Amino acid sequence: MFNFNYYTPTQVVFGRDTELEAGRLVKKYGGTSVLVHYGGRSAKRSGLIDRVKKALEDEGIQYCELGGVVPNPHLGKVREGVELAKANGVDFILAVGGGSVIDSSKAIAYALADLDHDVWELFAHTRSAVGCLPVGSVLTIAAAGSEMSASCVITNEETGEKRAYDDDIVRPKFAIMNPALTVTLPDYQTQAGCTDIMMHTMERYFNQGGTLELTDEIAEGLLRTVMKYAKILHEDPSNYDARAEIMWAGSLAHNDLTGCGAASGGDWTSHMLEHEMGGMFDVTHGAGLAAIWPSWARYVYKDCMDRFVQFAVNVMGVDVGGRTPEGICEAGIAAMENFYRSIGMPTNMKELGIEPTDEQIRAMAAGAARACGGSRGTAKLLFEEDFVKIYENAR
The string of DSSP codes covering 277-315 is HHHHH---HHHHHHHHHHHHHHHHGGGSHHHHHHHHHHT
Q: What was the pLDDT predicted at 191?
A: 98
pLDDT at position 265 over 90: no
Spatial distance between the Cα atoms of 49 and 39, rounded to a whole number of angstroms: 11
C-alpha distance from residue 337 to each of 196, 297, 331, 392 (Å):
15, 11, 10, 18
Mean pLDDT for the stretch of residues 278-283: 94
pLDDT, one tens digit per residue, over 6-17 is: 999 999 999 999
**3-class SS at 10?**
coil
Spatial distance between the Cα atoms of 44 and 55, rounded to a whole number of angstroms: 15
pLDDT at position 210 over 80: no
pLDDT at position 379 over 80: yes
Spatial distance between the Cα atoms of 289 and 192, rounded to a whole number of angstroms: 9
- CA-nearest of 321, 269, 318 to 297 is 269
- Return the bridge partners of 139, or none: 97, 177
pLDDT, one tens digit per residue, over 314-363 is: 999 999 999 999 999 999 999 999 999 999 999 999 999 999 999 999 99
Q: What was the pLDDT predicted at 211?
A: 80
Q: What was the pLDDT predicted at 278?
A: 94
Contact 348, 395 (CB under 8 A): yes
pLDDT at position 139 over 90: yes
pLDDT at position 264 over 80: no
Please report which helix (H) or strand (E) contains residue 166, including its range. strand 161-166
C-alpha distance from residue 196 to each of 161, 241, 274 (Å):
20, 20, 11
Q: Quickly state the pLDDT bin for 208 (edges 50, 70, 90).
A: confident
Contact 150, 166 (CB under 8 A): yes
Q: What was the pLDDT predicted at 227?
A: 98
pLDDT at position 209 over 90: no
pLDDT, one tens digit per residue, over 82-119 is: 999 999 999 999 999 999 999 999 999 999 999 999 99
pLDDT, one tens digit per residue, over 22-74 is: 999 999 999 999 999 999 888 888 999 999 999 999 999 999 999 999 999 99
Q: Quickly state the pLDDT bin for 390 (edges 50, 70, 90).
A: very high
C-alpha distance from residue 361 to each of 50, 210, 273 (Å):
45, 33, 10
* In the chain, % of residues over pLDDT 90: 94
pLDDT at position 224 over 80: yes
pTM: 0.94
**3-class SS at 92?**
strand
Structural domains in the chain plus CATH codes: 11-181 (3.40.50.1970), 185-393 (1.20.1090.10)
Average pLDDT, the chain: 96
Spatial distance between the Cα atoms of 148 and 151, rounded to a whole number of angstroms: 9
Q: Quickly state the pLDDT bin for 2 (edges 50, 70, 90).
A: confident
Q: Quickly state the pLDDT bin for 262 (edges 50, 70, 90).
A: confident
Contact 215, 265 (CB under 8 A): no
Q: What was the pLDDT predicted at 42?
A: 85
